[in-house]
Amino acid sequence: MTGKTDRMSTPDSTPPGEPGSVNFSQQLRSMMEAVHDGRTPSDVLLRFARSHEQEAVRYCVQRMTEPDLSLMEEMMIARLLQQAGLVQQFVGALLSLDPQAAQNLARKLQTAERGLDLKIAPFLQSEDNSIVMHSLELLEVIAESKQIVPLLFGLISSDNPRIQSKAALIIQKLDSEQAYTRRLLQHPDARVRANALQGIVDRANDQGGEFLLQGLADTDHRVRTLAAVGLSRLGDPQGLQTLFRMLRHPKPIERRSAAWGLGVCGNASALPRLEVLARGDPDERVRELAAQACQKITERAKPEEKQE
């Protein structure tokens, strides 16, 4: 997109009566309807949108958040952004929204713009950590291309722990061959190691067994818990055995993590031990997590009982 890749700020506000006003929004919407009905050539609409880029992007962002937006209009907006070369600006505008709202809009646009993650990637090089973090939150839900992995690896050395761990999570999601897993599991930050294992647990296949076993020996309780959950899902008894040992640990943080992990595993054999903790553990948070785990396991078993 020649001459436009450096526009990474969100659109500015405009005074009443200018192109960003209600009149402009009505005019743009009317033109889109006219193009759809065949009453106006599409190049007229594109020239109009390009001549008022910021206002057009602002309209598209606002309109795509409104509940009465039809699928047809959503597709038209996506096509307008593509053909007018405004996708990069649209992504920039998303970075000023609430993360959940931004993710929802990114998903909508992704149906028509398959390379959307590559449009987000340049924002990872921003010096503003909030922009980088928001970009990572978008990529977490739409990342598809391994071309962004080198940029993500550059963030692993960031001095911001949240950026480090989020980048590791996305790398692991994209790394189906697990070519980068070993490097991530050697990172000194436990959050990076935990997020690397999270991707393996989410995939739940035998390819990650080696790394899950490695995670059982980690010094961090979160890493060990995720490794144990992953192994349990693969049917390896070492997973539950590790969580049961953690339930007896003198440190409350270990017991909390184990109770959470057993709830995720959903194995009914853990119920007696969890019930004991839920009634009498000296740590209030352990009691809460154990009770929640018991509820999860019990609810998961109900459909099976009905089938019998």
Q: Report the chain (308 residues): mean pLDDT per 10 consecutive residues.
A: 37 38 82 90 91 91 87 87 88 86 85 79 90 91 87 86 87 78 85 85 76 93 95 93 96 97 94 95 96 93 54
Task: Kindly state the tokens that stand for 161.
Answer: 């722990």
Query: Does residue 93 form part of some domain?
Result: yes
Query: Does residue 6 form part of some domain?
Result: yes
φ, ψ (nearest 5 deg) of residue 220: -95, 135
pLDDT for the residue numbered 264: 94
Contact 290, 277 (CB under 8 A): yes
Q: What is the pTM of this model?
A: 0.60
Task: Kindly state the tokens that stand for 189.
Answer: 């930050």
Contact 77, 66 (CB under 8 A): no
Determine the Cα angle at 156 with ends 232 and 215, to 5°.
Answer: 20
Q: Cα–Cα distance between 174 and 288 in angstroms, integer?
A: 35
pLDDT for the residue numbered 188: 87
pLDDT for the residue numbered 49: 92
Within 10 angstroms of residue 193's Cβ, the number of other Cβ atoms is 26
Q: Which domain holds residue 47?
A: 1-113
Query: Does residue 72 form part of some domain?
Result: yes
pLDDT for the residue numbered 203: 73
pLDDT for the residue numbered 71: 83
Query: Does residue 97 form part of some domain?
Result: yes
pLDDT for the residue numbered 7: 36
pLDDT for the residue numbered 182: 82
pLDDT for the residue numbered 208: 79
Query: Does residue 269 form part of some domain?
Result: no
Residue 12 CA, chain-centre distance (Å), reads 27
* Per-residue pLDDT tens over the stretch 131-189: 999 999 999 888 888 888 888 988 987 888 889 888 988 888 887 777 778 888 888 88
Query: Does residue 107 form part of some domain?
Result: yes
Total domains, the chain: 1
